[in-house]
Amino acid sequence: MVAVSIDGLTKTFGRKRALNGVSLEIPAGEMVALIGASGSGKSTLIRHIAGLERGDAGCIAIHGREIQSAGRLSGEARDMRRSIGVIFQQFNLVDRLPVITNVLVGFLGQINRLRGTLGFFSRNEKHIAMRALHRVGICEQARQRASTLSGGQQQRAAIARALVQGARLMLADEPIASLDPASARRVMEILAGINKEDGMTVVVSLHQVEYARRYCPRTIAMKDGAVVYDGPSVALDTAFLKELYGEASDELILPDAPVSDQPRERPVVAIGSGAPALATA
Amino acid sequence: MTISNHASVPETIALPPKEFSRTLYAYVVWGGLALALLWSWAPAEMDRVTYLFSDSGNMVEYASGFLTPNFHDWDYYVQEMILTVQIALWGTVLSIFFGIPFAILSSSNVAPIWIVQPVRRLMDACRAINELVFAVLFVVAVGLGPFAGVMALFVHNLGIIAKLFSEAVEAIDPYPVEGIRATGASKLQEIIYGIIPQVAPLWISFSLYRFETNVRSATVLGVVGAGGIGQILFESIRGFYYGETAAILIIVVITVTVVDLLSQQLRKLAI
Ligand SMILES: Nc1ncnc2c1ncn2[C@@H]1O[C@H](COP(=O)(O)OP(=O)(O)OP(=O)(O)O)[C@@H](O)[C@H]1O
Ligand SMILES: [Mg+2]
């Protein structure tokens, strides 16, 4: 089963081309990293997949159902969002609501509309929400306002919300960008756990390439709104990353890819010529 | 090494010149205000300002009448004052209850433009017409008495609440709302879980502030027969009963001050 299938997606903001003919396919159950310099279009791509933004051309299908096509959102988009969990860099929790309510929001798409609107959540639903909070390790904070949590805890609450939602596809937009290394590892472990144990498809945009290498078998690299690399994460080498990130590469690139046992694989699915170099360069 | 040792740094760094358009703007604004004041001097009969002093004997006599307040009918005054507060309470609560949907419909980040614009114009109209004018209209429609006052406060404040509340809605952080949308929630659920919690403190504060203002406004509704203490105040002024007038005014001032203080304390709790 294909979790995400994108064909020729293009998006222009004013005169800025944010996405330029993006086509890709992600089979269900994969854990994929999305990398690229600032402004390369990672967030824009994720927002399109979640149906929060409409493209100019091209189409996106989630689990075989079209969510948008040629700039039009499918009539089922609201319904389809239920199967897509989105985690944002800024957490997107409602600060003044308690953590538990933020997590219960994940049920809104599944239960009777009126009951959800009035906020009558069942005992069982609260129980499920607490289990999700336990899984991400913040059940003690359930009654606190979201604003009183640390960044890493807020991010975990956001993951709990996506878990409760019953999502089958998790889109995480720079979930660890504002976290310290320990919290970042924690969040990545949780995402990897969800991927392995629940078989959830995870697409995670990252700035730190070493996290992509450690947690995601496959990496998609973007530059100027286009996909310039799509292949195994281990094959990403320093020269390629230097080119991808340009000036900013120094801070981003850590020790080179594991060279140890096998000879380094070159990118298999590089876009364009099939050469490992940047297609656009 | 200090900065001044650098050969490349000049001795003096010129301040960038003022933008011409901003200077011009200042002249236009202040000049315009001065012209408007001059233009309004004669029509507003501002030349009569001297009367305040030339007839100072009258003024003193008038003022001294107020120095001996007559509290003989104090229980009646207090009763009317309580009625005034009750009118303000109902007027405020009705305007909040019905103002919330109008506020949401006139917020450009929630409703489409073809709804926002007509709703805003309607609310402008409610706001533009003074509560006293509404009071006269309602006295004709529903008869003399407090209910006309309640309706007058309600309609006028509907416009104010809708505007204040929708300004708060337009200033919210959109990301949490998007987070709710991403779960597959309905539009109404987005509003209830994403918007209302963000604006609640401000809405409560505005509501209390409107209640304070409405208590003050309600004290004059009686002048046109729309209930409350205004009626007896007006009668005693017209009958030159200085002592009674002074007593009523003292009760009004105390009540308004107490309401203001209480509501200020409550507002602090809300934020
Ligand atoms: N709503 C918008 N209006 C105008 N331009 C936008 C909008 N959203 C994105 N862009 C532009 O599209 C381009 C891609 O932005 P995007 O946020 O997707 O980059 P990104 O790869 O996520 O970068 P970062 O790593 O900094 O988050 C940028 O040039 C950005 O300025
Ligand atoms: Mg981004």
pLDDT per residue as tens digits for the range B153-165: 999 999 999 999 9
CB-side neighbour CA atoms (13 Å) of A62: 27
Q: Which amino acid is at B200?
A: A
Q: Check if B175 contacts A (Cβ < 8 Å).
A: yes
pLDDT grade, residue B8 (50/70/90)?
Answer: low
- Residue B160 CA to residue B131 CA, distance in Å, equals 11
Is the CB of A233 inside a 6 Å radius of any atom of ligand 1?
A: no
Q: Are A29 and A199 in contact (CB under 8 A)?
A: yes
Tens digit of each residue's pLDDT (9 = 90 or more) over B101-119:
999 999 999 999 999 999 9
Q: How far is CA B32 from CA A252, B69, B262, in A?
A: 57, 46, 41
Determine which residue's CA is closest to atom 2 belonging to ligand 1: A13
- Which residues make Cβ contacts (< 8 Å) with residue A279, sequence separation at least 6? A226, A228, A270, A271, A272, A273
Q: What is the pTM of this model?
A: 0.75
Q: Supply the pLDDT for residue B70.
A: 81
Least Cα distance to A163 among A123, A131, A205, A189 occurs for A131
- CA distance linking residue B80 with residue A258, whole number of Å: 86
Burial class (CB in 10 A: 0-12, 13-18, 19+), B56: exposed
Of A78, A79, A94, the CB nearest to B194: A94
CA atoms within 13 A on the CB side of A218: 18
Q: Work out the average pLDDT over B9-26.
A: 79
What local confidence, expressed as pLDDT, does residue A247 receive? 64
Buried b (16+ CB within 10 A) or exposed e, A137-164: ebbebbeebbeebebbbbbbbbbbbbbb
By the CB < 8 Å criterion, does B64 face chain A?
A: no
Domain locations in chain B?
73-270
Q: Report how far apart the first and last C-alpha atoms of chain A are (Å, whole number).
A: 34
Q: What is the per-residue pLDDT for A233?
A: 83
Q: Nearest residue of B to residue A117 by CA position? A: B189
CB contact under 8 A, B193 and A81: no
Lowest mean pLDDT among A241-245, A246-250, B63-67, B219-223: A246-250
Nearest residue by C-alpha to atom 24 in ligand 1: A38
Query: Distance (Å, rounded) from C-alpha B212 to C-alpha A158?
Result: 41
Residues of chain A short of pLDDT 70, as ranges, are: 247-281
The one-letter code for the residue type at B204 is I
Cα A77 to ligand 1 centroid, rounded to whole Å: 23
Residue pointed to by tokens 């005054």: B77
Dist. CA B25–CA A179, nearest whole Å: 47
Tell me which DSSP letter residue A26 carries: E
- Please give the pLDDT value at position A186: 85
Tokens 């103002």 found at: B99
- Cβ contact (<8 Å) for A117 and B183? no
Exposed, middle or buried by CB within 10 Å (0-12, 13-18, 19+), for B72? exposed
Q: How many domains in chain A?
A: 1
If one counts every other C-beta atom within 10 angstroms of the C-beta of residue B19, the result is 9
Q: What's the CA gap between A175 and A150, in Å, rounded?
A: 14
pLDDT at B6: 53
B45-55 average pLDDT score: 82
The per-residue pLDDT for B7 is 55
d(CA A31, CA A215): 8
Asked if ipTM goes beyond 0.95, one says no
Report CA-CA distances (Å) from B100 to A166, A180, A273, B96, B171: 33, 42, 59, 6, 16
Which site among B183, B188, B204 would you substitute to test the A interface, given the most A Cβ atoms closer than 10 Å to its Cβ?
Answer: B183
Contact assessment for residue A57 and residue A68, using Cβ atoms and an 8 Å cutoff: no
Q: Tell me which residue of A39, A73, A76, A71 sits closest to A55, measured CA to CA.
A: A71
Give the structural domain span for A153: 2-280
- At B37 the pLDDT is 95
Q: What percent of chain B has pLDDT over 70?
A: 96
Measured between CA atoms, how close is B26 to chain A, in angstroms? 34
CA distance B192 to chain A (A): 7
- Whose Cα sits closest to atom 12 in ligand 1? A18
| Cβ atoms of B199 and B166 closer than 8 Å | no
Highest mean pLDDT among A64-73, A84-93, B8-17, B123-132: B123-132
Whether A195 contacts A202, CB under 8 Å: yes
**CB spacing of B182 vs A52 below 8 angstroms:** yes
A161 neighbourhood in chain B, CB within 8 Å: 179, 183
Domain at A110, CATH number = 3.40.50.300
Spatial separation of the C-alpha atoms in residues B140 and A174, rounded to whole Å: 64
Q: Which CATH superfamily is domain B73-270 in?
A: MetI-like (1.10.3720.10)
Burial degree of B137 (CB within 10 A; 0-12, 13-18, 19+): middle
Atom of ligand 1 nearest to the CA of A37: 25
Q: Which amino acid is at B93?
A: V
In residues, how long is chain B?
A: 271
| Half-sphere exposure at residue B267, Cβ-oriented, CA atoms within 13 angstroms | 16
Q: Is the model's pLDDT at B218 over the cut of 60?
A: yes
Give residue A43 CA to ligand 1 midpoint distance, Å. Answer: 7
Chain A neighbours among B 193-232 (CB < 8 Å)? 193-194, 197-198, 200-201
